[in-house]
Amino acid sequence: MAKWAYERGLQQVGPGAYAYLQPDGSWGWSNAGLIADGDQSLLVDTLFQLSLTEQMLATMADAVPAARSIDTLVNTHADADHIFGNQLVKSAHIVASQAAAGEFLKVTPEDYGRIFENWQELGAGARYIHDCLGNEGFQFNDIVLTQPHETFVKEKRLKVGDKNVVLTAVGPAHTSGDVLVHAVEDRVVYTGDLLFSGAHPVLWEGSLEGWVAACDHILSLDIDVVVPGHGPLTDKTRVAEFRAYLLWFRDEVRKRFEAGLAIEETALEIVELPDLPEWNTPERIIGAVNFLYRKYGSPQATSNFLEIFGLFDRFLAKRAARTVKHDACNHGH
Ligand SMILES: [Zn+2]
């Protein structure tokens, strides 16, 4: 979308609403948001690293006086790249959905640290993580996982100054606990990882049908701007495209499951289909195929975090063997 720049840093997206973007949006490079009015402020998500979160908070405090002391922090879900900086937002009351709060300890900073240190012994999945994240200089030593102070089940309405903010728990979708943050007067919605703008979605838990319903919820809102969890700013057009993609993808996978194709065969066929959008990180397709096969009861499918990353690694190797172009981890070469 040419309307907005995809540049690192803070961008105003509504009268008192901001997005903090981290190109290129691949693994670990998430977006965050800020809603402010008068002397009050609400932060949407922290980042994967303390240093990145620190830099973001300083940028926000410089640009928006109300952000010098953040009143509320909403975590859209419990993935590491949206919560690992929580400890730095000392002034904030932290809110998440009840389902997300239950997932905060699923993969801890210590787990990431172990994978990064021992990746050579942990097989293909750890190698993929190391190749995609290890080269970015990420480190997890000083992170103290900081959990929500308050949770809600379906919906929570709050005020930032005079403005209305509506939090809606729409999971299970990308995860069990996904929350949409709607800045009503600013006409902006922050989707967390319910939208990967320009990239294939990470679908390995949650629910595809729930994700479609979450898209319907976004499409029902009166908004101008959609701030995705990763990738460039967009609007409802991309959400509608993504919703159609999910249904198309489900049908393509189901056909091949019923025809008896293995997970890898299905993924390798789908990635070659002419209807496939030209999004980055296509290896995520095999994770999503694995997820649907698991739902269909296939004994081939895995629910193990490192094994799923292992599928990505093998899928890239297979594709590289077939085609010359190899865009591992979506970093431009
Ligand atoms: Zn994310």
Q: Which residue from 45, 146, 152 is spatially nearest to 97, judged by alpha carbons? A: 152
pLDDT at 332 over 50: no
pLDDT at 324 over 60: no
pLDDT of 331 reads: 47
Pair 197, 253 in one domain = no
pLDDT digits (tens, 9 = 90+) for 79-126: 999 999 999 999 999 999 999 999 999 889 999 999 888 999 999 999
CB atoms within 10 A of CB 70: 23
pLDDT of 47 reads: 98
Contact 233, 13 (CB under 8 A): yes
Domain region containing 294? 248-326
Query: Percentages helix, strand, coil for the chain, rounded to the nearest 5?
Result: 40, 20, 40
pLDDT of 117 reads: 87
Which residues are CB-neighbours of 63 under 8 A, at least 6 positions away? Answer: 10, 18
Q: Which residue from 59, 58, 57, 110 is spatially nearest to 80, judged by alpha carbons? A: 110
Could you tell me the distance, in angstroms and rounded to a whole number, from the CA of residue 82 to the centre of ligand 1?
A: 6
pLDDT at 330 over 70: no
Asked if residue 103 belongs to a domain, the reply is yes
Could you tell me the distance, in angstroms and rounded to a whole number, from the CA of residue 257 to the centre of ligand 1?
A: 28
Asked if residue 105 belongs to a domain, the reply is yes
Helix, strand, or coil (residue 294): helix
Could you tell me the distance, in angstroms and rounded to a whole number, from the CA of residue 47 to the centre of ligand 1?
A: 9
Domain count, the chain: 2
- For range 8-25, the mean pLDDT: 97
pLDDT of 1 reads: 45
Helix, strand, or coil (residue 317): helix
Asked if residue 115 belongs to a domain, the reply is yes
pLDDT digits (tens, 9 = 90+) for 189-236: 999 999 999 999 999 999 999 999 999 999 999 999 999 999 999 999
Pair 237, 195 in one domain = yes
Angstrom distance (rounded) from CA 31 to CA 16: 17
Sign for the pseudo-dihedral over CA of 77, 78, 82, 87: positive
Kindly tell me the burial class for residue 260, based on how many C-beta atoms sit within 10 Å of its own C-beta (0-12, 13-18, 19 or more). Answer: exposed
Could you tell me the distance, in angstroms and rounded to a whole number, from the CA of residue 272 to the centre of ligand 1?
A: 26
CATH code assigned at 53: 3.60.15.10
Which residues are CB-neighbours of 79 under 8 A, at least 6 positions away? Answer: 175, 193
Pair 236, 286 in one domain = no
Tell me the pLDDT of the chain averaged across its residues. Answer: 94
Q: Which residue from 324, 233, 220 is spatially nearest to 9, judged by alpha carbons? A: 233
Could you tell me the distance, in angstroms and rounded to a whole number, from the CA of residue 258 to the centre of ligand 1?
A: 32
* pLDDT band (50, 70, 90) for residue 135: confident
Domain's final residue, options 194, 216, 244: 244
Could you tell me the distance, in angstroms and rounded to a whole number, from the CA of residue 28 to the centre of ligand 1?
A: 6
Kindly state the percentage of the chain with pLDDT values over 70.
96
Kindly list the distances between the CA atom of residue 104 and the CA atoms of 84, 107, 146, 279, in Å, as whole numbers in the listed order. Answer: 10, 7, 9, 29
Asked if residue 61 belongs to a domain, the reply is yes
| Per-residue burial over 191-222, b = 16 or more CB atoms within 10 Å of its CB, e = otherwise | bbbbbbbbbbbbbbbbbbebbbebbebbeebe
pLDDT digits (tens, 9 = 90+) for 138-190: 889 999 999 999 999 999 999 999 999 999 999 999 999 999 999 999 999 99
Could you tell me the distance, in angstroms and rounded to a whole number, from the CA of residue 323 to the centre of ligand 1?
A: 29
pLDDT at 280 over 80: yes
